[in-house]
A and B are shown apart, each in its own frame.
Chain A
């Protein structure tokens, strides 16, 4: 299993993604620099977190102008965008909607719970499963127009929603658990991650690659990579 991890200037979870894929999962994982134009034939691509190009304009906005962007658009296998990677995929138009500033306007880093709701290469057999994974972002509030939301819901493309420890969804964005909002950033419909219409591209704000070892407080994130392996082996 070959996994390409993209490296934009300012990517900072590139190592986290490489470590999870290579050292924990045992995949043949490697970096692809943003000035390259060739992904070098991966089975899947990870677009990691960070602050690509400093995120000074809008998170993820500039990455689409990188030389590697054309290869990413042309790639036909599974793509996982995490955090800034999710923001980049929305800016590229590969996923609908946008990630706005968190409702409370501050950076937020903590473990949250998300409920898996869609099946796809990264979530095969996981529907209903609650994952404990960390978030670390200032711009993670998923937003889209009514029509897009209706389509996402109708097509079952919402991959993850923020939820309480026991899996129940918050009544509204103000609903708390342990004194903190269950929906940590005010995302519309508590959306934490979505698939594209072909269930090939997944974007999510939480960091599964930072939750792949019990020593780091959770290994729930490993299930996404294990699913990817099953998906690729089945092909």
Chain B
């Protein structure tokens, strides 16, 4: 094998240059050894992005294998662009979540927008039409000077992209914590619907088949984005601006419609979007999955700027681009669809049987100049696919349990005015209304939003699936959750709580949870404490996914979330998709009728305040004993909830989570505009502990009085404790002997939660 051609002006390649691209000395030495020669500058760029943490999962792969990924409902597990679960009648829900943390911190609008664009492409690449999006956001302290502009930019970016392409953003979650001051999190989730027998995969099948480039032209934006996403932040973060991509949702809308038409024509063997590491990773991954090689003619790459080098074309992360492998002789069908939608299209290569990634380019050729092409194309990249994909570095990094110093429960003064404490929590940015955010998202486009943001624990969207016997209505329940504070205190239980809460949210709206996607946001894997936390969190996710029968079908890992050596709270965000069988099973959180009974399902609180919002505010830091979770009790509770909804025995359901019992009760009142008079379940020697504990596996339901005996019977049959607390009615929320607050005051406090950050809220 001859040495590939180095382009004129390429810098000399050595370990020091490799280090600037994020490769360690050992990794560089390994590449040289396998190749039997030093890579060219262009090849070094290709190797470094493919071996970046973002693309290779080199620190996480050994742990991810412990996650359960199988079940009768799984249509497509991890490893493809997105996962899929069966929703009946031959259809599946296709979904995934991805992080866009670092770009969003550097440039919040475009970072968040392209995060949405990327996850949408992951879903429609599978052949599914996207029907809804969610997001999970983390910002620093509300009072941090950067928080307002980051919040404004991220929300506008998510809306700007999702609203334009016309996929409703129907829910999400948000937390502010000092640990995110220098490293925000933007995790974007999208779900689509497809026929299970018509999914598309990222495979370069069929030697000799043409490789076709579709979509936006290639520019210099986003070069080394994947590498940037795989390093911690420090001084000079702003100088990383050129690594952020710029999104064009209009282009993506055209791409979406063209792709769905191309897929339907049956002319494709495989397709993959050009996401992180752009043309390089899409080509290499498609070839790797098929066990083939791929050869690209870089002269043919559509480009929007002059003098792009092979290095730049291969590493650009310009958005809204797709790589397709068509069946030989059917290229014209792709061209026709692209002509209809005014999209750029070009044959840029072919599938080979060499097992190598080969790129050719003519030195000095630039389609933007009038200079005629001189000479023949030269091979500029010639690398084994295996070196870039399966045989990329894989590490089992050292792990060490972190010190628990500083997390002991401090002595906090007892609360004096519990009504004021409750109002304070409702007013706090971590608890109160998110309407300033979701009003900026089109959450009603596509005529499918059955439960809108803010109304219930999970969103419910309707998909109309076209079958031979006419359209079938499918109701998908969607939830996303994670509370990094509980993960910090106990990574196993905290991660399990995230899955449990999502599944409970879905059960509360009347759905059966089917599958999970995750987005694992952690600090540097090179620190043993972080790696230990990561591994424990994986075990917690795995245990909960098994106990609740929600296998992981897709996901994403985002490491190096730290600035100047300070890591974020461990944040293994999870999103779940469930199915609501019938529209009449849908429940929201709002108390609906005067005289209805209020019941507490699940074991009453022990008054454990560890990790709670109330304690964190009081102590000024995340602290306390971890509250833990009993996954068997959780599973029983969820089975009971589903049976209650399906038999119309409840009128509303809302789980106790951030802020605890009092906040959950207040939310039932303020969304419904009705008061309630209840007693506090459990022994009340320190009522604030019972009011504000965030122990999991508890749900508040309301029900018609005549439904009580049957509800008790269902709960007993599942072994779920059920405590009747009082009834709905009046204009105040009264907790006997403890507090009484007008519903109007609850509403006002709740509504104003973000006013301190965005005064125009």
Contacts and interface: CB of A to CB of B under 8 A. Distances in A.
A210 to B, nearest CB: 5
Nearest to A20: B447
Given A50-B166, A107-B442, A136-B442, A12 B253 contact: yes
Contacts of A13: 166, 445
A179 B751 contact: yes
Contacts of B748: 179
A54 B164 contact: yes
Interface string A126-160: 00000000101010000000000000000000000
Given A9-B341, A13-B166, A13-B445, A216 B450 contact: yes
Interface in A96-152: 104, 106-110, 134, 136, 138
B760 interface: yes
A56 interface: yes
Given A9-B254, A19-B464, A23-B471, A136 B447 contact: no
B583 interface: yes
A109 B341 contact: no
Nearest to B339: A35
A234 interface: no
Contacts of B447: 15-16, 19-20, 209-210, 212-213, 216
B159 interface: yes
A212 to B, nearest CB: 8
A55 B165 CA distance: 12
A39 to B, nearest CB: 19
A199 interface: no
A217 B583 CA distance: 12
B452 to A, nearest CB: 7
A104 B439 CA distance: 12
B250 A54 contact: yes
Interface in B425-463: 435, 438-450, 452, 462
B153 to A, nearest CB: 12
A109 B250 contact: no
B166 A109 contact: no
B342 interface: yes
A74 interface: no
A6 to B, nearest CB: 15
B44 interface: no
Nearest to A14: B166
Interface string B734-761: 0000000000000110010000000010
B490 interface: no
B156 interface: yes
Q: Size range of the interface on B?
A: 35 or more
A217 B456 CA distance: 14
Contacts, number: 96
A9 B442 contact: no
B638 interface: no
A10 B450 contact: no
The main secondary structure of chain A at its interface with chain B is mixed
A104 B760 contact: yes
Contacts of A210: 444-445, 447
A217 B443 CA distance: 12
Nearest to B129: A15
Given A53-B250, A104-B760, A109 B471 contact: no
Contacts of A54: 164, 248-251
B155 to A, nearest CB: 9
B524 interface: no
Contact of B250 (A56, A104, A110, A216): A56
Nearest to B475: A215
Nearest to B438: A109
A102 B102 CA distance: 31
Contact of A106 (B166, B440, B450, B462): B440
Interface string A152-190: 000000000000000000000000000100000000000
B563 interface: no
Given A51-B250, A136-B444, A107 B449 contact: no
Nearest to B450: A215
Nearest to B583: A215
Nearest to B253: A10
Contacts of B248: 54
Contacts of B159: 107
A50 B167 CA distance: 11
A10 B442 CA distance: 15
Contacts of A216: 444, 447-450
A56 B464 CA distance: 31
A215 B586 CA distance: 10
B163 interface: yes
Nearest to B166: A12
Contacts of B165: 12
A210 B448 CA distance: 9
Interface in A28-68: 33, 35, 49-51, 53-56
A170 to B, nearest CB: 18
A54 B166 CA distance: 11
Contacts of B250: 9-10, 51, 53-56
Given A10-B164, A51-B250, A16 B446 contact: yes
B164 A109 contact: no
Contacts of A217: 449, 452
A180 B450 CA distance: 22
B273 to A, nearest CB: 20
Given A104-B760, A216-B450, A207 B583 contact: no
A4 B249 CA distance: 26
Contact of B164 (A12, A19, A23): A12
A110 B439 contact: yes
Nearest to B455: A217
Given A50-B166, A107-B163, A136 B445 contact: yes
Contacts of A55: 164, 250
B444 A109 contact: yes
Nearest to A23: B471
A212 B448 CA distance: 11
A116 B68 CA distance: 56
Contact of B443 (A19, A106, A109): A109
Interface string A206-228: 01011011011100000000000
B449 A109 contact: no
A50 B249 CA distance: 12
A16 B445 CA distance: 7
Given A9-B341, A9-B342, A23-B471, A51 B444 contact: no
Contact of B439 (A9, A49, A109): A109
Interface in B392-447: 435, 438-447
Nearest to B748: A179
A56 B462 CA distance: 31
A33 B435 CA distance: 36
Contact of A215 (B166, B462, B471): B462
Interface string B178-218: 00000000000000000000000000000000000000000
9 contacts: A9-B342, A16-B447, A19-B464, A20-B447, A51-B250, A56-B250, A136-B442, A215-B583, A216-B450
Given A53-B250, A209-B447, A216-B450, 19 more contacts: A9-B342, A13-B445, A16-B445, A20-B447, A23-B464, A35-B340, A49-B445, A54-B249, A56-B250, A106-B439, A107-B156, A108-B439, A109-B442, A134-B444, A136-B442, A210-B444, A210-B445, A215-B462, A216-B444
Q: Which 9 A-B pairs have the closest CB atoms?
A: A12-B166, A54-B250, A136-B442, A51-B164, A16-B447, A134-B444, A107-B440, A109-B442, A210-B444
